[in-house]
């Protein structure tokens, strides 16, 4: 059975650390859907009512509670990493026993390679999403046959060693081996889409801590990428169908030509009259459909340019708001100056007549002056930020890249339309060629090969009979 690239994935490897407020006991209880008591803190973690759990495979340990309480007890630092977790998808078309066997082999590989204890919890999909997967929790320290914890497995802490990549490749190999044994058309690859498809455009990750506008911009860009990839896939499918139609048409034309040659090449036949060469000579073979390629490359936007652009946009909004505040406070300040108390009113205020009104006026005037001063300060600040040459250069680079990519998208859309029109013209031409060949076949002279003298004798004999 030929393998199809059913899915791509890079097994997700993460750590469970106290510095993040996490506990190995709590994590194990959640994944195994059991009730565990953390003997270090006394906390009870009960997830027995949680749904979706299929089975938990233990390798290097016999009791899940004892395993992870020992893992917690083996660490003394408040920021210690108490466990690691490898998460990966499992084929939906496999049975529970087949998935369990695969998980057991992966757990055994971890045990044999790093000397750790492993708890693999298999989760089943819900009604809406088919998402069979497994959480492979394993200790950060070696565990001997008696359950004693040893040294840290620091080789998985440093990404530069390449050990994490080796682990991912080994896990994929185990999954693919099981797929071959089962006869499942399932193949996984611990790499990137671009390694498989050179034309693939990856989407960007949306950081959780990113601002609202920044997240919206990335999501919009990702949607454009997905739409483009969908168009490319649809084009490729249509191209494959057109290619199949072309092969079928070529077969029919060949059969028609062979049939015509067979009918004409008889022993008693004479050389046939020359057929018009317009069909054969003007026949144009349709070119194989191929996706239109852009003569340009998309520009990757550096993170610094993106940050500078969105910071620039945010500053513009703040500046505009500051200017609106300036108009409001300037009007209020002008109105206060126009209604300034007279000297007489202030003299009476000193003796207690109209004092509250004067005090309220002075307070409002001071507030207006203070607000205008702050607005002037902010105006100079925004002007300085917006006028920064380095920032402006990054913003210009961002805008140039956006415009460039937009033009490429427009070109690619036009190229697709033109390419589709070309394929349609070639198909119509092929159909016209087939029609012409059919007409020539129907118009063939069936008197070819007969003796013209016999026709003449018959004609003369008939004339003599009429004369009598």
The enclosing domain of 35 has a CATH number of 3.30.930.30
Confirm whether 459 is domain-assigned: no
Residues 193, 185: contact at Cβ < 8 Å?
A: no
What does each C-alpha distance from 227 to 201, 203, 219, 324 come to in angstroms?
11, 11, 12, 40
Confirm whether 452 is domain-assigned: no
Q: CB-based contacts of 59: which residues, under 8 Å, 6+ apart?
A: 104, 107, 108, 110, 111, 117, 118, 120
Taking residue 172's Cβ as centre, other Cβ atoms within 10 Å add up to 20
pLDDT in tens, the chain (468 residues): 344 444 555 677 889 999 888 999 999 999 999 999 999 889 999 999 988 899 999 999 999 999 999 999 999 998 899 999 998 888 888 899 999 999 999 999 999 999 999 999 999 877 666 778 899 999 999 999 999 999 999 888 877 778 888 898 899 899 989 988 888 777 777 766 556 555 555 666 666 566 777 778 777 877 877 777 677 667 767 777 777 776 776 666 666 655 655 554 444 444 444 444 444 444 444 455 555 555 557 788 888 888 889 989 999 999 999 999 999 999 989 988 888 888 888 877 777 777 888 888 888 898 899 999 999 999 998 888 888 888 899 998 888 888 888 887 887 788 788 888 888 888 888 888 887 777 766 665 555 444 554 444 444 444 444 443
Confirm whether 202 is domain-assigned: no
Q: Transcribe 161-176 into DSSP letters.
A: GSHHHHHHHHHHHHHH
Q: Are residues 181 and 299 in the same domain?
A: no
> Which one, of 37, 31, 40, 18, lies nearest residue 119 by Cα?
31
Instruction: Please say which residue of 157, 191, 225 terminates a domain.
Output: 191
Q: CB-based contacts of 35: which residues, under 8 Å, 6+ apart?
A: 29, 44, 45, 46, 47, 48
Instruction: Please say which residue of 191, 223, 258 terminates a domain.
Output: 191
Q: Are residues 290 and 413 in the same domain?
A: yes
CA distance 27 to 39: 14
Q: Are residues 154 and 285 in the same domain?
A: no
pLDDT of residue 406: 83
| Residues forming a β-bridge with 66 | none
Helix residue ranges, H only, 297-388: 303-338, 343-350, 355-386
3-state secondary structure of 154: helix
Q: Are residues 179 and 292 in the same domain?
A: no
CA distance 402 to 222: 14
Domain around 84: 12-191
Q: Are residues 301 and 431 in the same domain?
A: yes
Confirm whether 135 is domain-assigned: yes
Long-range contacts made by residues 309-315, C-beta under 8 angstroms, separation at least 24? 309/394, 309/395, 309/398, 309/399, 310/211, 310/213, 310/214, 310/217, 311/391, 312/386, 312/391, 312/392, 312/395, 313/213, 314/211, 314/213, 315/382, 315/385, 315/386
Q: Which residue has the tokens 């697709």?
A: 416
Q: How many domains does the chain have?
A: 2
What's the token pair of residue 425?
């013209």
According to DSSP, the β-strands at 133-138 and 118-123 are antiparallel
Confirm whether 49 is domain-assigned: yes
What's the pLDDT tens digit per position in 160-174?
778 888 898 899 899
CA distance 102 to 182: 11
What's the pLDDT tens digit per position in 353-394?
778 888 888 888 988 999 999 999 999 988 888 888 888 999
Instruction: Please say which residue of 162, 191, 220 terminates a domain.
Output: 191
Confirm whether 271 is domain-assigned: no
Confirm whether 153 is domain-assigned: yes
> Which one, of 279, 326, 325, 306, lies nearest residue 397 by Cα?
306
Q: Are residues 155 and 290 in the same domain?
A: no
């Amino acid at each position: 059975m030929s393998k199809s690239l059913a899915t791509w994935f890079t097994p997700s490897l993460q750590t469970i650390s106290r510095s993040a407020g996490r506990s190995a006991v709590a994590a194990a209880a959640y994944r195994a859907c059991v009730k565990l008591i953390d003997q270090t803190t006394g906390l009870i973690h009960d997830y027995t009512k949680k749904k979706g759990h299929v089975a938990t495979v233990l390798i290097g340990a016999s009791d899940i509670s004892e395993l992870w309480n020992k893992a917690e007890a083996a660490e003394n630092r408040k920021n210690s990493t108490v466990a690691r977790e490898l998460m990966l998808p499992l084929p939906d078309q496999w049975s529970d026993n087949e998935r369990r066997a695969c998980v057991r082999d992966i757990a055994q590989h971890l045990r044999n390679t790093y000397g750790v204890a492993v708890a693999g919890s298999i989760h089943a999909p819900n009604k809406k999403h088919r998402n069979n997967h497994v959480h492979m929790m394993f200790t950060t320290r070696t565990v001997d046959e008696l359950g004693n914890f040893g040294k840290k497995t620091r080789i998985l802490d440093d990404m530069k060693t390449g050990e994490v990549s080796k682990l991912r490749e080994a896990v994929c190999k185990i999954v693919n081996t099981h797929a071959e044994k089962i006869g499942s058309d399932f193949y996984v690859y611990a790499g990137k889409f671009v390694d498989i498809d050179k034309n693939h455009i990856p989407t960007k990750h949306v950081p959780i801590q990113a601002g609202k506008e920044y997240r919206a911009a990335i999501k919009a860009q990702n949607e454009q990428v997905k739409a483009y990839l969908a168009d490319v896939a649809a084009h490729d499918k249509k191209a494959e169908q057109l290619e199949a139609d072309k092969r079928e048409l070529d077969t029919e034309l060949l059969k028609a030509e062979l049939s015509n040659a067979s009918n004409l090449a008889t022993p008693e036949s004479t050389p046939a009259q020359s057929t018009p060469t317009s069909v054969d000579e003007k026949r144009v073979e349709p070119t194989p459909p191929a996706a239109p390629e852009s003569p340009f490359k998309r520009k990757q936007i550096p993170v610094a340019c993106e940050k500078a652009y969105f910071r620039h946009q945010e500053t513009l909004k703040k500046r505009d708001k500051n200017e609106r505040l300036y108009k409001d406070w300037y009007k209020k300040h002008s109105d206060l100056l126009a209604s300034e108390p007279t000297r007489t009113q202030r003299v009476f205020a000193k003796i207690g007549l109209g004092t509250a009104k004067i005090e309220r006026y002075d307070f409002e005037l001071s507030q207006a002056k203070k607000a205008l001063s702050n607005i002037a300060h902010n105006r100079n600040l925004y002007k300085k930020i917006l006028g920064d040459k380095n920032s402006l250069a990054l913003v210009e680079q961002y805008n140039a890249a956006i415009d460039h990519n937009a033009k490429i998208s427009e070109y690619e859309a036009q190229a697709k339309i033109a390419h589709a029109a070309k394929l349609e013209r070639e198909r119509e031409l092929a159909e016209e060629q087939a029609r012409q060949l059919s007409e020539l076949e129907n118009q063939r002279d069936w008197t070819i090969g007969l003796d013209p003298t016999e026709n003449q004798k018959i004609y003369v004999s008939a004339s003599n009979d009429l004369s009598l």
